[in-house]
Structure 1
Amino acid sequence: MKTLTLHINGHARAVPAGITVASALRRCDVTLFGQTVYGSSRDVFCGMGQCQACRVRIDGQDESLACMRLVAEGMRVETQA
């Protein structure tokens, strides 16, 4: 299985190629993606981009949906937690 290097909150992690950013975060034990305006924790909910609960910063772009993006070599992901 081919692996890629993904930078999650400043830490390099090896993840399988061909998976979504949300799946990669979960494989790396990241389960807190940020907080709602009410202070509740956000995590992957629907897995198809409708709920937008999995918003993260990907390569400097805010509000990216982790469940809708495939990992890429050297990608930088920052959770809002």
Structure 2
Amino acid sequence: MGPRLFPFGVDPIRPEPTTPLTIILDGVPVAGVAGQSVAGVILAGGTLGFRRTSVHGTPRGVFCGIGICYDCLVEVNGRRDVRACQRRATEGDVVTTQHDALPPGGAAA
């Protein structure tokens, strides 16, 4: 597990051992624990950018954390536009970061 987890004997909120899980992010296994959101697993694994903007290609990740801003959109198990902060991670989830180029004639860069 990553350095962002308290050892289970020290964590006053969750004093019992956690159940590990693994998701696949862009082909790379990332470890997490049961109960974390997809965004939580990705962040704990050290990745900050989940998608890129259409106009400039700048990275975006968790901004609001409550599903309002859409900055953490990813593809999960083939389903696009999933808000990573709102979906609980499950063992074996296949997560792909998103980048949608503007269609021809889209907004100016």
Alignment TM-score, normalising by the size of structure 2: 0.70
Aligned length: 81
* Segments ≥4 residues shifted beyond 2 Å: none
- Tell me if 1:44 matches 2:62: yes
Alignment TM-score, normalising by the size of structure 1: 0.92
RMSD of the TM alignment (CA)?
1.2
Structure 1 stretches of 5 or more lacking a match? none
Identity across aligned pairs (percent)?
35
In structure 2, which of residues 74, 81, 93 is the aligned counterpart of residue 75 of structure 1?
93
Q: Determine helix, strand or coil for the equivalent of 2:41.
A: helix
Q: CA deviation at 1:8?
A: 1.1
Structure 2 stretches of 5 or more lacking a match? 1-17, 100-109
**Which structure has the higher relative contact order (CA within 8 Å, separation 6+)?**
1
Report the structure number with the largest CA radius of gyration. Answer: 2
Tell me which protein shows more strand as a share of its residues: 1
